[in-house]
Structure 1
Amino acid sequence: RPGTSAEAVEAAWRKVIQRYGLKKESRIGYSIGVAYPPDWGEHTISLRPGDKTVLEPGNVVHSILGMWMDGWGIEISETILVTETGHETLTKFPREIHVKS
């Protein structure tokens, strides 16, 4: 939601996964939409510890909540627009589990 820092978003994610003994070393998302052509390395907003950038309405982030373990993994990728009152998920992919074997 607007007014939240990038590092606070990451801290909320980390708090949840730590309950299950998990950790993620890399960032969990980044801004998109500033550069042309689009580039994951824009470095305007990076959802990671230490990024004090405050989210504002109109910011768009690509959330990449991938976790890779020995023998299994999970990928959750969302494009999210920060709105005046919260957020809007722009990804329109069906919300179901897809298993790749």
Structure 2
Amino acid sequence: MAIKPTYLRTPIDGKIQMSPEEFKKWLKKFDSDKDGRINKEELCEAIRAEGGWFARLKCKDGLKLADKDGNGFIDDNEIKYLKDFAFKHLGVKIVTY
């Protein structure tokens, strides 16, 4: 019997649970230019992948929320600022086990 990755478990509220590291790894799948950072378009793709509506507006808000150094990208150190955004717009609950 195969063991499913942790992030496939869904609790009663319907949110997908991920650890911070799992969330970072999942988000990095959308890093289409492989520069190690998430830009606005890549964040839009993540929102669309989860069936989110109004992705352009939401990704702009997410980038503004997480991009603490103002360079237009979300890097590894800034992904942690997407915790509430992920819960609200991506259906992902970031938890520590």
Structure 2 length as normaliser, TM-score? 0.33
Higher strand share: 1
Higher helix share: 2
Structure 1 length as normaliser, TM-score? 0.32
- Over alpha carbons, which structure has the higher Rg? 1
